Amino acid sequence: MTALLSAMAYVLAFVEFPVPLSPSFARMDLSDFPALIGAFAFGPLSGLLIELVKNTLQLMTTSTGGIGEIANFLMGASYVVAAGAIYKRHKTKKTAWIACVTASFVMGIAAALANYFILLPLFEAFMPLDQLIASFGTFLPFIHTKLDIVLFNALPFNILKGLIIGSVTMLMYKRLAPVLKGR
């Protein structure tokens, strides 16, 4: 099942949407949905493995020099491991909602730290930092620094992404659980 969910996550990674108030290279997909399903059904390690397989496969077709895949793995892994660990302790609908909301904030914080210390410095190999800041400033005129990008784009975007994926998961999980677990 982990392999099947990994394949689904890989395919969903190709269905991307533009991120509001962001440059065109900032895209969102729902590929963390199968990983969250896996984390809920089989535990946080399964969710982590799904993220790892998905992003390793994505490396074959990357246009980001691997930076996008590193970013996706770090954020997705923080999200599904946090949600899976919370849900594993007490498997109720209420706990699942708490897990999704909490994990969304964990992902937002992970995104903020990873963007500031790892991803934006790596991205400078493709685009100078002042040009990167200007590309975000076009959409949000109060962005003037790397910290502004993190606080006003990466952090809220990842929290919102987590809440959306969590909501989709909550709508689908009860229907999918019996199939995944062979019941």
Distances from the Cα of 137 to the Cαs of 33, 38, 106, 126, 154, in angstroms?
A: 30, 37, 26, 18, 13
Model pLDDT for residues 102-123, shown as the tens digit of each residue: 999 999 999 999 999 999 999 8
**Residue 170 structure tokens:** 């909550």
Per-residue pLDDT at 116: 96
Instruction: Pick out the chain residues at pLDDT < 50.
Output: none
Per-residue pLDDT at 25: 73
pTM of the model: 0.92
Q: Which domains does the chain have, with CATH numbers?
A: 2-15+26-180 (1.10.1760.20)
